[in-house]
Homo-oligomer: A and B are copies of this chain.
Amino acid sequence: MKTEGCNKFVHLQPQNNNTMSLLTVGTVAFDTIETPYGKAERVVGGACTYISWAASYFTDKINLVSIVGDDFPQEEIKALHQRGVNTDGLEIVEGKKSFFWAGKYHDNMNQRDTITTDLNVLADFDPQLPNSYKESEFLMLGNLTPEIQLQVLNQMKTRPKLVVMDTMNFWMDIALDALHKVISRVDVITINDEEARQLSGEHALVTAAEKIHQMGPKIVIIKKGEHGALLFNEGRIFSAPALPLARVFDPTGAGDTFAGGFIGFLAGQDDLSFDNLKRAIIYGSTMASFCVEEFSIEKLKNLTEQEIHNRAEKFIEISRVSL
């Protein structure tokens, strides 16, 4: 993670063999999205898609588990392959359709309405990990039913070094017990501020994080969208800034991308010190800041390591201060 002078080539992926294998699970899907800036019809989406693309800039040992129908484009799967993502665990169901979500954002971009949710293949998803996946060293449980997150956890032969979960209020509303089972078994939870309040019953985020620590995760990350993120770990706090952007084109997938950048960076480094967790938050935020600039994964597909590094430096620059 060194810049050898200004604009020299930057390696985000470590050049040694310390990279940890990373298992990612979540949806691979189609989205139809309407924002104040435009509309995108049936574009590629899904938590696992965003996670894997974001992580792929930091590690090339990614094992993907998900499910799609036969409507999902082969070239999208091939593109993941080319980024070093193993898709042996991507089940393709003939004669069925991929998960589909349609949503419309309000003018302020902070709220959205779901127009359509067609579970399709997701309704019967019963993930079976390929044997080669079962000793993955890092595990990212993307936003999905807690039951499926549990099934994946249960199929691991060895307990991963780091398990990160992402979730959302929807599962708190309809599957709280199962959600608590997952939460009790993970190291890191990423959750937004309103969800942290809902899950903990506490308004103050520092108290909410304490309550969530008591549910299991030693590391609690509260995502605050345009206000950045908070990292809580063993009494220490890190407040990460967000980059003030002139235009958020489409926020879809920003949280997944954040999580993917976060765990991808850690898997690439195999260093779970607090200082490195902070760096991982910055890289996660960096990837999310790219994600929102275009629809779908368009922006995430064509980044250079230099661009990523330069933007991460901007996060550092805008928060640098000393007394």
Q: Which residues of A are in contact with B by a Cβ distance under 8 Å? A: 1, 107-109, 203-207, 209, 224, 226-228, 230, 237-242, 244-248, 275, 278-279, 281-282, 309, 312-313, 316, 318-319, 321-323
**Known contacts A1-B323, A282-B321, A323-B313: does B242 contact A239 (CB below 8 Å)?**
yes
Q: Which single member of B206, B275, B319 contacts A319 (CB below 8 Å)?
A: B319
Q: Which single member of B1, B203, B247, B312 contacts A204 (CB below 8 Å)?
A: B247
Nearest CB of chain B from residue A112's CB, rounded to whole Å: 15
Q: Give the docked Cα–Cα distance between A207 and B246 (Å).
A: 6
Q: Which residue of B lies closest to A203 (CB)?
A: B108
**Known contacts A244-B205, A247-B204: does B321 contact A319 (CB below 8 Å)?**
yes
Q: Which residues of B contact A245 (CB under 8 A)?
A: 204, 206
**Known contacts A204-B248, A227-B227, A245-B206: does B239 contact A319 (CB below 8 Å)?**
yes
Name 13 interchain pairs, CB-CB below 8 A, sorted by A: A107-B203, A204-B247, A205-B244, A206-B245, A209-B244, A224-B227, A237-B318, A239-B241, A279-B321, A279-B322, A312-B323, A313-B323, A316-B323
Contact assessment for B316 and A322 in the assembled complex, using a CB-CB cutoff below 8 Å: yes
Q: Give the docked Cα–Cα distance between A312 and B323 (Å).
A: 8
Could you tell me the dominant secondary structure of chain A's interface residues?
A: mixed
Nearest CB of chain B from residue A150's CB, rounded to whole Å: 31
Contact assessment for B321 and A240 in the assembled complex, using a CB-CB cutoff below 8 Å: yes
Q: Which residue of B lies closest to A3 (CB)?
A: B323
Nearest CB of chain B from residue A45's CB, rounded to whole Å: 24
Q: Which residues of B contact A239 (CB under 8 A)?
A: 228, 241-242, 244, 318-319
Q: Give the docked Cα–Cα distance between A226 and B203 (Å).
A: 12
Nearest CB of chain B from residue A319's CB, rounded to whole Å: 5
- Known A-B contacts: A108-B203, A230-B244, A279-B323. Give 16 more (CB < 8 A): A1-B323, A204-B245, A205-B244, A206-B246, A207-B246, A224-B227, A228-B241, A239-B242, A241-B241, A275-B321, A275-B322, A278-B321, A281-B321, A282-B323, A312-B323, A316-B323
Nearest CB of chain B from residue A12's CB, rounded to whole Å: 10
Q: Give the docked Cα–Cα distance between A319 and B1 (Å).
A: 20
Q: Which residue of B lies closest to A313 (CB)?
A: B323
Q: Which 10 A-B pairs give the minimum distances between C-beta atoms?
A: A239-B241, A227-B227, A206-B244, A278-B321, A239-B318, A237-B318, A319-B319, A206-B246, A207-B246, A204-B246
Q: Give the docked Cα–Cα distance between A282 and B247 (Å).
A: 27
Q: Which residue of B lies closest to A206 (CB)?
A: B244
Q: Which residues of B contact A203 (CB under 8 A)?
A: 107-109
